[in-house]
Amino acid sequence: MIPSSLLPLFALVSLVVAEPLDIPLVRRSPLRKLDRRDEAHISAVQAAADRIRLRYNYTYPAPTRKRGQTVGIGLINTNVDSSYIGAVTVGTPPQSFNVVLDTGSSDFWVAGNDCTSCQVQATFDSSKSSTLQQPQSTTGSRQVEIQYGSGAVAGTLAQDSVSMGGFQVNPQTFLVVNQASKGLLDKETSGIMGLAYQALASTRAVPFWEALTSANQLNSPEFSFFLTRFITDANAANEEPGGVFTLGGRNNTLFTGDLEFLNIQNNGVIQQNTFWLLPVTAVTVNGKSISLGSADSSLAAIDTGTTLVGGPSNEVSAIWAAVPNSQPVTSMQGFFAFPCSTSVTVTLSFGGKAWPISTDDMNLGSIGSGLCLGGIFDLGLGSQIGSGGGNPTWVVGDTFLKNVYTVFRSSPPSVGFAQLSSAAGGSGPPSTSPNTESATFSQTGVTVPTGTVIPASTQSAGTSGSNSGTGSSSSASSAAKIGSSILVILSFAASLFIVA
């Protein structure tokens, strides 16, 4: 990454306080069964795990690999089969793009029309925007490079009007990319909208969500996610409803009971907020507790831009040791397999309730010989970096987040989880003890048929939902599970479209 100077302060067009706004998501590309015979699929899974390790600075000792070492840079996934993307507009008149909604990074960038390596359908044409500004840095250059584990992008800093769901920041500093590593972008995905804190931003820019918060445009200083699940639907289309992203509050029809808010922690090196970090305080497997390291060595990045759950070597080994007849997958570093006939229920706690992960999300599909691939992998296997150093040791992605309603709140800085309502496919309240022998898991993100209307009513942060979740847990066969789109990094997520 080329260091860049502090960018000019932004000004906002509107200071009107807005009500919470729900933005429906559309999920792109179904998750299909992982088949041992498809070596390309298996290779894609292992490569994706490598990229998430790199994203959080878990690098390998191989001398031929060049590794980034900066915790302030996030990574994106080069495969978009399992992703959630959102629609934004840039410039005047507005140009529309689908971008990744990623709480694991902070930069906003879009592909420029002079980026021959981007290979995307929609690119930003700066010559067509009457409101474009190009700030000059103190070093005399506006060129910025962002390194990711799966590649890199480079481009020119710009400022322009950026809008999403009716909210606007003008000017918003962002990167117009003119160079991108091969395969870094999908043709329908034009960039990334980082939703973590400014301290992580390679461009030094204030993230879009923080600018909205500072300008008092949001009704409440928070944003929320409900993510759907289609991995058990063999007939899922390329694009499916992906859930709801709510700016400025939360949608109380999508969760039941109280939100459990947990204060985030800084990484101990940069004494300011970076990732949305929470300590992993308890893990159970089929009701049995797993021994964890110290609180300092158990920090988790809560990351919508990641598909699976990655954890430290000792803890991940202990998780799979608690599953009878599980075994490491020798051809896929850090992954474990278990008998397909076995149901694996894992709960995670971050200092409060134990939140279960559906057995559907723990089983990624068959790899042959009656074995199925597990949804939690070893993040640090082969890494030269130990605990500490400001790096999260856990990365908690959508394998977990599909099972809860999640709220990211800036004041006080915290992350909130709640049980999904029946409208969102939830089933029953979570357990109150991380050591319970009969944890109830929520069957969340159940298949939402095309055309189903996600409840649109919203309320501000001052009100709790009261819907009672009903429904039953699923025991779908692993034969209907994931295929080539098992992506560890969900930095290209399913399409989010604003419904007129």
β pairing state of 371-374 and 151-164: unpaired
CA distances from 91 to 128, 161, 453 (A): 8, 5, 30
CA distances from 455 to 226, 276, 354, 420 (A): 11, 27, 27, 13
Cβ neighbours for 9, distance < 8 A, ≥ 6 positions apart: none
How far apart CA 304 and CA 12 sit, in angstroms, is 27
- What is residue 44's DSSP assignment? H
Residue among 50, 233, 303, 398 flagged as catalytic: 303
The verdict on whether 360 is a catalytic residue reads: no
CA distances from 34 to 312, 397, 488 (A): 25, 19, 14
Is there a contact between 59 and 385 (Cβ–Cβ < 8 Å)? yes
The amino acid at 304: T
How far apart CA 328 and CA 331 sit, in angstroms, is 9
Is there a contact between 450 and 239 (Cβ–Cβ < 8 Å)? no
How far apart CA 306 and CA 490 sit, in angstroms, is 4
Residue among 50, 102, 186, 378 flagged as catalytic: 102
How far apart CA 426 and CA 420 sit, in angstroms, is 4
SS3 of residue 478 by DSSP: helix
The verdict on whether 233 is a catalytic residue reads: no
Cβ neighbours for 399, distance < 8 A, ≥ 6 positions apart: 307, 308, 309, 357, 361, 362, 375, 376
- What is residue 184's DSSP assignment? S
How far apart CA 490 and CA 86 sit, in angstroms, is 13
How far apart CA 29 and CA 36 sit, in angstroms, is 20
- Active-site positions read 102, 303
